[in-house]
Each structure stands twice: as C-alpha cells, then as structure tokens.
Amino acid sequence: MDNMNGYILFCAIVILVCVLFGRFSSKVGVPALLLFMLIGMMFGSDGIFSINYENYQLTEQVCSVALIFIMFYGGFCVKWEAAKPVIGKAVTLSTLGVILTAGITCVLCHFILKIEWAESFLIGAVISSTDAASVFSILRSKNLSLKSGTAPLLEIESGSNDPIAYMLTMIGLALVQGGKQTSIPYLVFAQIVFGIIFGIGVALAAIWLMRKISIEAENLDMIFMIAIALLAYVLPSIVGGNGYLSVYLAGIILGNSKLRNKAVLVHFFDGITGLAQICLFFLLGLLSFPHKLPEVVVPALVIALILNFVARPIAVSAILLPVKASFRQCLLVSFAGLRGAASIVFAIMVIAQGAELEHDIFHIVFLISLFSVALQGSLLPLVARKLDMVDDDNDVRKTFNDYQEETAITLLRMHIHEGHNWENRMIKDVALPSDSLAVMIKRDGETLIPKGDTKLLAGDNLILNVPYYNADNEIQLQEIVVDKNHAWCDKKIMELPISRNTLVTMIRRNEETIIPDGQTTIRCKDIVVICEQEN
C-alpha cells in the first residue's frame, strides 16, 4: 500500500472510530470531545498504535483552520433575539472577565508556583478563555436549558472570549520573547480594531453579494460561505488584526441576516464543524505524550484549582453580582467555564513560535483541559440541578439559530379522486387533520383560495398546512419506488418482511395518495413511504 492510500485509510478509520464512540458518549455520560481526545492519545506515541507524532507546526495550522469554522459556526448559530437581553453581561465576561481571569491566574502562579512573571502571564493568557466547542456540545447534547438566561450567556461568552485570550497570548508571547513594551499598545489596537472592521466589512459584503448575484445551486451557496469564513479570518490576520474576532463577528451578522438556503447552510456547517472538532481534539490527543503528564501533574492541578476556584469565580462574581445576578447563577457560570481545544491550540501556537519556556506549557494546559472537560463537563448537568438552575419548561435549542420553531408549518397535498369521501363536500363539512388549515386548491391549472363553503370536486388537489414536527433523529422517512421486480410488488402490507419498528405510512399511486392498512396491496410503480424508528 502506498503512502497516500495509507493516510486515507488511517483518516477514514479515525473518523469512523470517533463517530462511533461519539454516538455512545451520551449513554455513558462522558462528553464526546473528551472521547475524541482520548482516542488521539490511544493512537499516539504512548498508546496502543504507537504513532510517533510531534509536529507542532502542522498541528497549529490544522487546528487553526478547524477553529475558524468552529468560531464562525458559533457566531452563525447565535440567535440575536435570545442573546440581546444578556449581551452586555456576556461581552463583559468575554473581555474584562478574560483579562481578570488571566491576571489573577498570573499573580497566583508567580507567588505559589514561583514561575517567572512573563511565563506566568503567558500561562494565564492561554487558559483564560472558556471553550466554545465544549460548552456548545454539552448544552446541546444534554439539552440543558438554564434559568435566568444563563444558557445564552454561556454561549455568547464562550463563543466570543477566544479572541481576547488570543490577543493576551500574543502579548504574553511578545513578553517572553523580549518584545519591547512600545509594541504592546499597537498590538492591542490592531487586534481589536482590525478584527472588528474586517469582521463587519466581510459580512456586509457577503450579504450584498448574495442578494445581488443569483447563485442557483445550493452547494455553491455553501462553497461561497466557506470562502467568506476564510476571508474573514485571513484579511485581518495579514495586517495584525484578530482573525478569530473577525470570523466570529462575521458569523453573528450572517447568521442573523435573511439569507437564502439558510437552513441548508446551518446543516452544512453543523457537519463541517463536527468534522473540525473531531480532527482538532484527535490531533491534540495524538500530539500529547502521556508519559510526560506525571511530570506536570502537580503544577497542572495547582493551576486548575487556582483557575476554577479562585480566578474564574472572582472574575464572574465581580462582573455579575453588581448587575443583580443571583449567587446561584454566579456559581453555575463559574463552574461552566470549561477549558478545552482553544487553550491547547494557543499553547501549541506558543511552542510553534519557538518560545523558550521553563515549563512544559503544552502538557500543563493539556492536562488542565482534560480535567476540565472530563470533570466539569460530566458534572455540569448535576451541578445545574443541585443549584436549581435547570429550566425544564424551556428548550436550550431555542437559543440557537438552527432551532426550528414549533409554530413552523409544512404543506401537505391531498388529491381528491373520484369516489373520495370528501368529493362534493364543502370544506367546513370535512374533518381536516388536527391543527391544519386548507390554504389553496389546485383545480384545472388554476389556484383557488378556499372558504368554508368551497366545494371539493374530483380531480382537486387540496393543499393543507400542518404543524412541523422535528423528529430529532428518532424516526427516518424513506421513499421506495416499487417496480415489477421488487419483492413487495403485488403483496399486501401485512405480508411484508419488515421489522416492528417500521411502518408503511403512505402510498402514492399516480395522482392518488393512499393511507394504507394491513390489507392494502402494493402495486407496480407505487411510491411507498415508510417510517423507521431507531432502536
């Protein structure tokens, strides 16, 4: 087998293993992202497959690209209507909160662990942000709806605090490498100003282009949006701006704009982001050397305790208590400050830049993130319930742009054939499906708007609106076209070899729609719609 085929086979196996383990993560109560990281460690130098991988430069590049799409999709899914009431608190947490967390961690690392000031600042900067991928994953997978607007608060904070942490990391890197103090103010200015300008500018340009230029194919809309996400990152980065801030802002603006094929874009980027998370967490696990973890376990544990029980709670309380947030909410927001991929990627950036450090910052941050995702991620639903912060009457998915409102409708066509029991009856006299409404009648090439006294005739196509139902992957609908050689042809439904979890829900025969029972015979050229329930 040549090298290319070997690499492709390896990638396919890794993705399949991650997907299969991810499917079972919710059943065992372990966050899927933690499993992806552990799988990477299993493949790594100290694991079962002993792959000796220590390419920090390549990992930085791959993870940076993955973060672009994770950040963009994080912004794209922010529902401005849900976020608006908490936007002030969330932005303050993602800016001032990150700076306070980094500062307190820096001071305590210096005095408790005796780490030099510049390196202490760099460690505080790298782990100062919460991880959007981890927070989003847990809120969604556990459907964890929280009281007092806490869910959108955590979503906005975790999605928007990486740019500030990245800026602090760049400052810390400049300090460690002996950068002049005069360059720091400009670095801060360029990171923030160029990040905001390019993020807004690229998003507005994309909206204008999508409205002016007709892109007929849905797949081209997806490709166009990929290019926009990449541009939003790279353009400010070229001039010293914060690419992550830019791409996040672009995602928010585009996600809350009226775009064609928006539902398709959401599902597309959901898949892209899922793949990015698998690649990112697997690579982080692959890059680690578990035999080095015992050497850094003491400083990592001390820093984790400082971060989670001192720095983060002080920062959160200092910001939320003055705006009348409850003490329980402060505790939950503090506990929900998961560290994950972003912090580890920033540590990799530091090493890739050739910074000479006294301590192994990568494995320290890796271990902190491992503790955070494993313990905080697993215990977050329990802690939320113990603090009485779970809102069982709401749905956390409503805070994301990809949520389908319950009031959404879908259209259903019913063909009135000769002999139909609705033939020659008025709309008001027929028993329409519950919560449905007759919206139009297609008759002889004309469109009629029906009223209660409109009579239905043979040959009419009655269009009904019915409530939309989101099956949440519980059921799958499938159409089967039956030809003369099909095993179901000329058989009754009761005779079909189908499982107990499968139901024949409808048969379309020519222009007729048939709701079948066990005695209904399937004919050649029928289109059979079956419903399959998982498990």
Task: Read off φ and ψ for residue 248, nearest 5 degrees.
Answer: -70, -45
- Count of residues in the chain: 535
CB atoms closer than 10 angstroms to residue 441: 20
| Domain covering 55-290+322-389 assigned CATH 1.20.1530.20 in the classification | yes
DSSP 493: G
- Nearest one of 481, 431, 77 to 273, comparing CA atoms: 77
The superfamily in CATH containing domain 474-535 is Regulator of K+ conductance, C-terminal domain (3.30.70.1450)
For domain 404-470, the CATH architecture is 2-Layer Sandwich (3.30)
At 465 the pLDDT is 80
Half-sphere exposure of 461 (CA within 13 A, CB side): 13
* H or E stretch covering 533: strand 527-533
Residues 6+ apart with CB under 8 A from 469: none
CA 78 to chain centre: 10
At 409 the pLDDT is 57
At 456 the pLDDT is 92
Please state the domain extents for the chain: 55-290+322-389, 404-470, 474-535
| Whole-angstrom distance, CA of residue 338 vs CA of residue 159 | 12
| Whole-angstrom distance, CA of residue 250 vs CA of residue 207 | 10
Three-state secondary structure string covering 153-177? HHHHHHHHCHHHHHHHHHHHHHHHC
At 169 the pLDDT is 92
The tokens for 375 are 């313990």
* 3-state DSSP assignment of residue 455: strand
Q: Which amino acid is at 532?
A: E
Whether 404-470 and 474-535 share one fold: the answer is: yes
Ordered per-residue pLDDT tens for the chain, 535 residues: 567 888 888 889 888 988 888 777 656 556 777 888 889 999 988 888 888 888 888 888 998 899 899 889 888 888 777 778 888 999 999 999 999 999 999 999 999 999 999 999 999 999 998 987 778 777 777 778 888 888 889 888 887 888 889 889 988 988 888 755 447 788 888 888 999 999 999 999 999 988 777 665 557 888 899 999 999 999 999 998 989 889 999 999 998 888 777 777 888 888 888 888 888 889 989 999 888 899 999 999 999 999 999 999 999 999 999 998 999 999 999 999 988 888 888 999 898 888 888 899 999 999 998 888 888 888 888 999 999 998 877 766 666 655 444 445 567 788 888 888 888 999 888 888 777 788 889 898 888 888 888 999 988 888 888 766 555 555 667 788 888 888 899 999 988 888 877 888 888 887 677 878 888 899 998 888 888 765 5
The pTM assigned to this predicted structure is 0.72
At 404 the pLDDT is 46
Residues 6+ apart with CB under 8 A from 228: 202, 203, 206, 250, 254
At 532 the pLDDT is 75
Cα angle, residue 270 at apex, residues 335 and 152 outer, rounded to 5°: 35
Query: Helix crossing, 3-28 with 262-287: angle to 10°?
Result: 100
CA max distance for the chain: 89
